[in-house]
């Protein structure tokens, strides 16, 4: 090659440094350099590799129509150069190229574009898969945050309600009946310790995601504890039916639903008695918690967050929650959880 040929070869390679930032401009620049190179009568060689790299980059970057137009221009320019303009272009006395050469050039252009399109499709597919994985991870993180928030709400709402009632009892009896006030304070201490333990267990899942819990999740086997805690708050709870053995997730959901329902009775109802009815029938667990009222506030039956949490727990298992005032007064929570117990297997 003479110096002008080497300059064209060098320029067509240097512009590739900007191929990802300006893929279309670089592609058209390499096409122009290649056509000048071939028009000057220089032999085929590495210069064709530069336009191949630029065309591949343009297609993969999504500029596929510009890439097809540029490669079509390259082929048409080559056709014009070797079959029409060769008479006036160097070297002198040159003859027209055979048409079989055009078939080879056309095949090379089509093959290059086909490979580029395949790479583009694969790249877009990988990008979609990465985005889908990222969305799935965000969705799992949101679900986990919702689960933890629901657990914390249920634990704290129930415990603080009992503590609030016992604190009121202790203050009222502090002077008249110190012994009864001491009992109330003891209950507050025990309940706060239990609440701290459950909150710590929930937060441990944040510090060590995926690790096995240190203590088993609560279930209906702890129903006597709820009855005892309600009794310490002045609420007599009657349990009808025997809790069946349930899978851990369903057992936790059932326990939290009953816990939240009793917490709402303590906080928002003047009733002194409540009933919990448990029934397993046709592969479904039916939980009924009601009281005779009357309501003691505008938010009778519970806060929106509490009822929403119960509905979310039931919906996660494919179940339903019905909550509302009874015709004869009071409030009722009725949950149906479609589950398979060990007795059903």
Residue 301 has pLDDT above 60, yes or no: no
Mean pLDDT, residues 78-83: 85
Residue 318 banded pLDDT, cuts 50, 70, 90: confident
Contact criterion met (CB below 8 Å) for 45 and 33: no
Percentages (nearest 5) of helix, strand, coil residues in the chain: 65, 10, 25
Q: Of 345, 197, 163, 128, which is closest to residue 267 (Cα–Cα)? A: 163
So where are the chain's domains? 3-97, 219-345
> So what's the pLDDT on residue 211?
52
Residue 315 banded pLDDT, cuts 50, 70, 90: confident
Q: How many whole angstroms separate alpha carbon 278 and alpha carbon 135?
A: 39
Residues 6+ apart with CB under 8 A from 83: 96, 97, 102
Mean pLDDT, residues 242-269: 85
* DSSP 8-state secondary structure symbol assigned to residue 98: P
Q: Which CATH architecture has domain 219-345?
A: 2-Layer Sandwich (3.30)
Q: Which residue has the higher pLDDT, 341 or 133?
A: 133
In which residue are the tokens 């336009």 written? Answer: 51
Contact criterion met (CB below 8 Å) for 244 and 339: no
Q: How many whole angstroms separate alpha carbon 313 and alpha carbon 240?
A: 22
> So what's the pLDDT on residue 203?
65
Residue 224 has pLDDT above 80, yes or no: yes
Q: Which residue has the higher pLDDT, 168 or 37?
A: 37
Residue 339 banded pLDDT, cuts 50, 70, 90: confident
> So what's the pLDDT on residue 229?
79
Residue 17 has pLDDT above 90, yes or no: yes
Structure tokens at 147: 């689960």
Contact criterion met (CB below 8 Å) for 105 and 98: no
């Amino acid at each position: 090659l003479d110096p002008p040929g080497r300059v064209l070869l060098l320029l067509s390679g240097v512009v590739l440094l900007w191929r990802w930032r300006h893929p279309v401009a670089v592609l058209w620049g390499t096409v122009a350099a290649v056509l000048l190179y071939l028009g000057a009568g220089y032999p085929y060689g590495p210069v064709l590799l530069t336009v191949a790299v630029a065309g591949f980059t343009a297609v993969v970057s999504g500029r596929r129509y510009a890439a097809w137009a540029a490669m079509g221009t390259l082929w048409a320019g080559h056709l014009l150069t070797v079959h029409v303009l060769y008479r006036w272009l160097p070297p002198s006395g040159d003859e027209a190229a055979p048409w079989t050469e055009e078939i080879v050039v056309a095949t090379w252009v089509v093959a290059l574009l086909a490979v580029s399109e395949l790479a583009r499709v694969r790249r877009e597919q990988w990008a979609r898969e990465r985005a889908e994985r990222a969305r799935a991870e965000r969705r799992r993180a949101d679900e986990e945050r919702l689960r933890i928030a629901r657990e914390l709400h249920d634990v704290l709402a129930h415990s603080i309600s009992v503590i609030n009632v016992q604190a009121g009892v202790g203050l009222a009896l502090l002077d008249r009946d110190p012994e009864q006030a001491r009992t109330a304070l003891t209950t507050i201490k025990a309940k706060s310790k239990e609440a701290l333990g459950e909150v710590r267990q929930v937060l441990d899942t944040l510090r060590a995601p995926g690790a096995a819990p240190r203590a088993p999740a609560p279930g209906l086997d702890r129903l006597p504890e709820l009855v005892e805690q309600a009794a310490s708050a002045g609420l007599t709870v009657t349990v009808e039916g025997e809790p069946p053995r349930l899978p851990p997730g369903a057992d936790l959901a059932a326990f939290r639903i009953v816990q939240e329902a009793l917490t709402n009775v303590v906080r928002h109802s003047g009733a002194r008695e409540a009933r919990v009815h448990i029934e397993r029938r046709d592969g479904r667990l039916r939980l009924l918690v009601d009281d005779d009222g009357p309501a003691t506030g505008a938010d009778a039956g519970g806060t929106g967050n509490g009822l929403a949490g119960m509905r979310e727990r039931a919906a996660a298992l494919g179940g339903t929650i019905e909550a509302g005032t009874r015709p004869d007064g009071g409030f009722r929570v009725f949950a149906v959880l479609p589950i398979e117990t060990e007795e059903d297997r």
